[in-house]
Amino acid sequence: MKRVPSPAKQIRQPSFLNGERAEPVEIWKARKFIQEHSDEELSLTKVSKFVNISANHLSEKFKQVTGVNFVDYVARQRIEKAHVLLLDVDLRVSEIAFAIGFQSLSQFNRVFKKWSGKSPTQYRATQAKHHRQ
């Protein structure tokens, strides 16, 4: 059974009004920056400097627009990458953890389980089983 994040943790997709993006440009830039740099050390301060607004303003606006806080958003981006990398059985879980931007294996395991409902090893085993069928 696949665990779906609670509604409070689901990331909202930006809505469109009259064919134009309703998402504020600084949030769009921040999300793009996070996507492109999620394998690096990321902080709210680093991203706020990139989009040229205060960290507090970015934090508030980010949660308002996406529905999740900055830390959860970054974690979710990394876990989505991990899901793909875990399909490669030649990669060790620790290699994946560091490659996607986690500072420790225990942090990766904890965050992965929070978002996926399983440990990375359990997830890999489940996926391998589905692919064999």
Q: Is the pLDDT of residue 38 over 50?
A: yes
- The single-letter DSSP state of residue 54 is -
Whole-angstrom distance, CA of residue 4 vs CA of residue 120 = 16
Confidence band, pLDDT 50/70/90 cuts, at residue 128: confident
Region 38-51: what's the mean pLDDT? 94
pTM listed for this prediction = 0.78
Sequence-distant (6+) residues with CB within 8 A of 98 are none
Q: Check residue 127 and report its DSSP letter.
A: H
Give the pLDDT band of residue 44 (cuts 50, 70, 90).
Answer: very high
Q: Do residues 58 and 46 lie in contact, with contact meaning Cβ atoms separated by under 8 Å? A: no
Question: Looking at the DSSP assignment, which residues form a beta bridge with residue 21?
Answer: 16
Which domains occur in the chain, in start order?
19-132 (1.10.10.60)
Q: How far apart are CA 68 and CA 60, in angstroms?
A: 10
Position 11 confidence tier, pLDDT thresholds 50, 70, 90: low
- With cut-offs at 50, 70 and 90, classify the pLDDT of residue 56: very high
Q: What CA–CA distance (Å, rounded) separates 26 from 18?
A: 20
- Find the radius of gyration of the CA atoms of the chain: 16
